[in-house]
Amino acid sequence: MLENSLGYPPVLAAHGLYRAFGSTTALNGVDLQITLGQSLAIMGPSGSGKSTLLHALAGIELPDAGSIMLNLPGRAPVDIQGLKDKARTRLRRESFGFVFQSGLLIPELTAQENVAMALMINGVPRGTAIERAATALADLGLAGMEERRIGQLSGGQQQRVAIARAQVTGAMVVFADEPTGALDSTTGFEVLETLLECTVGAGKSLVMVTHDPNVAARCDRVVQLQDGKLISDSPQPLNTMHGGVQK
């Protein structure tokens, strides 16, 4: 296992990922290592395989070939491909957080219940979960909005609820697919800053699909996909301490 300059193995290490849908090759031999505490932007044209890659790394949809190892501090390495469905679902709930463009929040529930749900499915009792959810929401500037249903919140506020939900479980890796895609640029920028603060700011990793170069520019590292292959991998000039180019 390759190690970064701090001596830790990558939190996620993917090798030879391949995924086809019928005659379409969505991933065509992707190798990617992600360091703990790093923010990584995945860019590329529409249809280049970004979402497929994110779903593979997060154990949502397995690739046809390749391997993905998860190395969390203080835990034994896990081969995500080798897990049975139930164990993989559990791993996702406990170790990963998700912020997608929209659609992951449950409209029938309040902001607080949406966040608490992430804890309750991991076995945290309801009362404790609600308390921790309220704290997480307040941390993100949503105090007083705990009881609102999702439809009663603005787009930016909804994404903050999603961020609260992704971080309340203590998950060390957060995946985001176009998290600012449905927001105006000012709100999008604020949400992005919040997302970075809650992830890399807390020593966690952020893996984010975006088509927006301004969003990508805020990340430690940017990779480009084209036709299911990684065609470039570059650290941002200001931040090479998290490992930088890994080839």
Nearer to Mg ion, 52 or 158 (CB): 52
- Stretch (H or E) spanning 139: helix 126-139
Closest CB to ligand ADP among 27 and 70?
27
Q: Rank residues 178 and 220 by Cβ distance to ligand ADP and give the closer one.
A: 178
From candidates 51, 110, 159, 199, binder to Mg ion by CB under 5 A: 51
Give the list of residues 6+ apart from residue 96 with CB closer than 8 angstroms, or none. 58, 59, 171, 173, 174, 175
What is the side-by-side strand order in the sheet with 78-79? 24-34, 12-21, 65-70, 78-79
- For residue 246, the number of C-alpha atoms closer than 13 Å in the C-beta half-sphere is 28
The stretch among 39-47, 73-81, 132-140, 230-238 that binds ligand ADP (CB under 6 A) is: 39-47
Provide the minimum distance between the beta carbon of 1 and Mg ion in the complex, in angstroms, as a whole number.
29
Neighbours of 109 (CB within 10 A): 15
- What is the nearest approach in angstroms of ligand ADP to the Cβ of residue 174? 18
Give the nearest distance from C-beta 20 to ligand ADP in angstroms: 8
Out of Mg ion, ligand ADP, none, what residue 169 binds, judged by CB under 5 to 8 A for its kind, is none
For ligand ADP, the binding residues in 41-60 under the rule CB under 6 A are: 44, 46-52
Q: How far is CA 4 from CA 7, 154, 246, in A?
A: 5, 40, 9
Which residue in the shown chain puts its C-beta closest to Mg ion?
A: 51
Residue 203 CB, nearest distance to ligand ADP (Å)? Answer: 28
Question: Which token pair is 240?
Answer: 């090479």
Nearer Cβ to ligand ADP, position 100 or 172? Answer: 100
Q: Strand 24-34 to strand 12-21: parallel, antiparallel, or no bridges (unpaired)?
A: antiparallel
Q: Compute the distance between CA of residue 71 and CA of residue 136 in angstroms, rounded to an integer.
A: 26
Shortest Cβ 50–ligand ADP spacing (Å): 3
Pair of tokens at residue 122: 């991991």
Residue closer to Mg ion by CB (options 150, 209) is 209
Among residue numbers 138 through 197, which ones bind Mg ion (CB under 5 A)? none
Piece of the chain touching ligand ADP by CB under 6 A; list 19-27, 62-70, 122-130, 147-155: 19-27
In the sheet that 205-209 helps form, which strands lie side by side, from edge to edge? Answer: 96-100, 173-177, 205-209, 39-43, 221-226, 229-235
For ligand ADP, the binding residue among 21, 86, 151, 186 (CB under 6 A) is: 21
Which CB, 139 or 227, lies closer to ligand ADP?
227
CA distance 103 to 227: 27
The footprint of ligand ADP (CB under 6 A) covers 21, 24, 26, 44, 46-52
